[in-house]
Amino acid sequence: MTPQRTNDFKSVIWRFQTYRDKFQPGHPQEGPVDRIIHVDMTNDPITNYKIIVQNIGSEIGLTMPSDTELETALKHAQTHEVTFRKEVKSGKKSSPRYIGLRIINDIQPILGEIFKKDDHTLSSGKQLFESIQKRWPNHHHVTLAHLKDPSSSDLIPSFLQRIQASSSHELEFDFAVNELLWNERIMALRVHGIPSDMVTEGKEYHITVGTLNDDVKAFESNQLIKDADAGNKNIHRISLENINLKGLLAEFY
């Protein structure tokens, strides 16, 4: 939250609950997290405050304050005024870089089952998949409209209107993947079955599974799909029986 710009806090909380990345114990990016304190957003502030203080206090060996001391400290925090060196102006809200379907399913075990098969045609894919798993993305998505793509950028306003006017369950859509493709640098899943009013006619859609390393950019998957369709023999591809997935229409900045 930004100081002096909290009038829209309810939408901020809704967006956090809807689009947040789930905590994944054991994931390399979660390494700095060594303890979680569970609180319920429906609790009153003093209840959650006590839960947090009790958990932190037990970690560092402090005696739990009395209820009176806790309430006094909370009131002081709530009434304390902070002096800012520079007033924060409202400014113009930035536009999203792209609109897409944020994948709700966990595709890692799905792909893991594919690469468990004893098939020599999968050997190069297994090596790439192992590299990707070490840097597994926090989320996967299907790009529907991109600000820098003239063929789809004009769809962004209508998508934004749809997102703002709908509840979260109304923004969930079913689709499927039917092909896995990769080269020595990047891996992707070909997507089909997205509702017709959300796609550009003649455009191919995909999910970028991951890249070999940080030097390889995710947008290379666009060329991967084009090269595969052009018959490039350096592209490995296997057909999949329709794997049904679900995605949440969302903004990406």
Question: Does residue 20 lie within any of the structural domains?
Answer: yes
Collapse the DSSP code of 158 into the 3-class scheme (helix H, G, I; strand E, B; otherwise coil) and give the result.
helix
171 DSSP assignment: G
Output the pLDDT for position 125: 96
Alpha helical stretches, state H, the chain: 9-19, 45-60, 67-79, 108-115, 123-134, 156-165, 220-229
How far apart CA 180 and CA 237 sit, in angstroms, is 6
Question: Does residue 45 lie within any of the structural domains?
Answer: yes
| β-pair partners for 233 | none
Output the pLDDT for position 90: 56
Output the pLDDT for position 217: 95
Output the pLDDT for position 197: 92
Return the C-alpha torsion angle 21, 24, 28, 32, nearest 10: 80
Output the pLDDT for position 113: 95
Question: Do 22 and 73 fall into the same domain?
Answer: yes
How far apart CA 236 and CA 207 sit, in angstroms, is 16
Question: Does residue 87 lie within any of the structural domains?
Answer: no
Closest CA to 114 of 128, 103, 104: 128
Which residues of the chain, if any, have pLDDT below 70? 1-31, 83-94
| Unique residue bearing structure tokens 């809704």 | 14
Question: Does residue 4 lie within any of the structural domains?
Answer: no
Output the pLDDT for position 208: 98
**88 Rama class: left (phi>0) / alpha (psi -120 to 50) / beta:** beta
Output the pLDDT for position 236: 97
pLDDT tens digits, 27-71: 666 667 778 888 887 888 788 888 888 888 888 888 888 888 888
Total domain count, the chain: 2
Say how many Å lie between the first and final Cα of the chain, rounded. 17
Owning domain of residue 15: 9-79
Question: Do 129 and 246 fall into the same domain?
Answer: yes
Output the pLDDT for position 138: 87
